[in-house]
Amino acid sequence: MASLLQLVNIDRRYLDSDKPLVILDKANFSLEQGQTVALVAPSGAGKSTLLHIAGLLERPNGGDVVLRGHSCSNLSDNDRTAIRRNDIGFVYQFHHLLPEFTALENVMIPQMIAGLKRSEAADRGLKLLTYLRVGHRAKHRPSELSGGEQQRVAIARAVANAPSILLADEPTGNLDPVTSAYVFQALAALVRQSGLSALIATHNLSLAKQMDRRITLKSGKIIELP
């Protein structure tokens, strides 16, 4: 398999009381086409930072993010935004749905920003919501949805533009165990069906074991787990 995404010697440091706080130290990682990887690490280890750098939301202090063999280190902010819009989908612990819009409209918006006609965006959005078993809630606003329904709408929105990479930061962290398992199964099924590559941060070891690979963060390094 060809590497779709590579993190090469990534350094990320912050100043804490004038002393450098090392989050990532010459960290290396590769994500293959169609592969699912669980990122399992305690709070504060740098999971969100790693996902933000991989998703071009944050620039590292050193190293390079390589997407499909092309370096992203010197890209302009506009070029990085275009890659995020077309190639990378994000799911967060909190759904971040726009409260004034319906579930369907939330899934349509990124497609219309990318240039799709409203009718086409609506058709694709409804198909995604139906696949995730929330099609019957398409006309409801986020406040009218359960936590599990909100997160499934957020997943539909993340993949609406058919990205090649899905990055998820504790996507079931705010849900009860039963709902968490259901939402994760829906996410995993969508990833397999679409051929997405996925890097998913989770505290849930039973969910992590269902993925192709597992990694963790230790002393700023990315370590492969058995």
Provide the domain count of the chain.
Answer: 1
Which positions ≥6 away from 97 have C-beta within 8 Å?
103, 106, 142, 150, 153, 154, 157
Do 80 and 71 form a contact (C-beta atoms < 8 A)?
no
Give the domain CATH number at 13: 3.40.50.300
Spans in the chain with pLDDT lower than 70: 1-2
pTM here?
A: 0.86
Range of the structural domain that residue 197 is part of: 3-224
Tokens linked to 222: 């990315």
Residue 161: CB atoms within 10 A of its CB come to 20
> How far is 226 from 217, CA to CA, in rounded Å?
14
Pairing outcome for strands 213-218 and 62-67 = unpaired
Q: Which of 10, 2, 26, 39 is nearest to 198 (CA)?
A: 39
Q: Which of 13, 96, 6 is nearest to 59 (CA)?
A: 13
Radius of gyration of the chain (CA): 17
> How far is 185 from 179, CA to CA, in rounded Å?
10
What DSSP string describes 190-213? HHHHHT-EEEEE-S-HHHHTTSSE
